[in-house]
Structure 1
Amino acid sequence: MFDTMVITKTVASLCGALLVLLLGQWAASALYVPRNADAPQAYAIDTGEEDMDAEPVAELTFEEAFEVADADAGSQVWGQCRACHALEAGRNGVGPYLHGVVDRDIASVDGFNYSGALAQVGEVWSPENLNTFIESPANSAEGTSMNFRGIGDVQDRANLIAYIQSQS
């Protein structure tokens, strides 16, 4: 049933089919190339990339952002913290309560088991230390058990700290 001639015909038919496909692709690419493929673009779509060459807007420093911080706007950012922290004094959750945290000693809430990593942040939760920690807890205190990615916007951090301070 399978002799040499059948195998030769099968291989020849596969090679012929491949050759027809390759020649068809070559003919199609020759036929369907636009005549003005090398011409310049007829119109440009504004993507805003030209503004990237403009002078960058200076980002606020934390001190400037904290001076104009809005506690009401910080209440919206507080939603990210509410899952683990409380603003009521003495009510610990997954994280310690934050009532009076501004200018409080770091890791000083009784009854909460802190990780030892917070010693890297400083001695007192000053607004500047809170800003650094809230921006990226993992980078600020390597090995912290706080599993939060952080808040990137400096104004959001300033508003949050102002809100926490106003609720204390």
Structure 2
Amino acid sequence: MSALIGVLKSVAALCLALAIFYVMNLAAGALYTQRGLEQPAYVILADDAPAEAAAEAPSFEELLANASAASGERLFRECQACHRVEEGVHGVGPSLYGVVGRDVASFDDFRYSAAFSAIEGVWTPERIDALITNPQGFARGTAMTYAGMRRASDRADVIAYLQSLGM
């Protein structure tokens, strides 16, 4: 008898849950259904607006020409958790002293990840910009855990600071 009561309680609980779900669904449908509106309350425009905004944004070259090394030094504090700017002094990441114009993965006394060891060429401002925008996108599989710097003007300031090192 007690087993039958347990089954009946379970069936009753399931029915109650379904009834509550049904009532909540009706209530939500009533809240979000548009009836009797002749025009929408607002219109979402096509992707033309972002294209116009992107066209108005200054180029990387313009941002770099107007960048502030002093601001870049302040912003570089995020990088100091792993990188040093003293010549030949490495942290978790390699020294960034004189990095602009230096070959990628060029220190013999630093163990680079395979992602950076495979990259050929030199560190140009454009390459550094791509790296600090999205490290994982630039060097897929890198051990670098930095999420990236979103503002282009901030990246230009950091690059201006890096350019000022080792001159």
- TM-based fold match above 0.5: yes
Measure how far apart 1:119 and its partner are.
Answer: 5.0
Q: How does 1:16-35 map to 2 (within 5 A)?
A: none
1:110, distance to aligned residue in structure 2 (A): 2.5
Query: 1:1-150 counterparts in 2 under 5 A?
Result: 56-57=52-53, 58=55, 59-118=57-116, 121-150=119-148
RMSD of aligned Cα (Å): 3.8
1:92-138 C-alpha deviation (Å, 9 max, x unpaired): 00100100000000000221100121256541001111111110000
- SS of the residue 2:154 aligns to: helix
Tell me the SS of whatever aligns to 1:82: helix
> How far is the alpha carbon of 1:167 from its aligned partner?
2.6
d(CA) in 1 for partners of 2:134 and 2:165? 23
Unaligned runs of 5+ in 1: 1-37, 39-48
Contact 1:133 1:140 in 2 (8 A): yes
Instruction: Give the count of matched residue pairs.
Output: 146
Whole-Å separation in 1 of the counterparts to 2:75 and 2:67: 12
Whole-Å Cα distance in 2 between the matches of residues 99 and 138 of structure 1?
22
Normalised TM-score (structure 2): 0.66
Unaligned runs of 5+ in 2: 1-34, 36-43
TM-score, structure 1 as length reference: 0.66
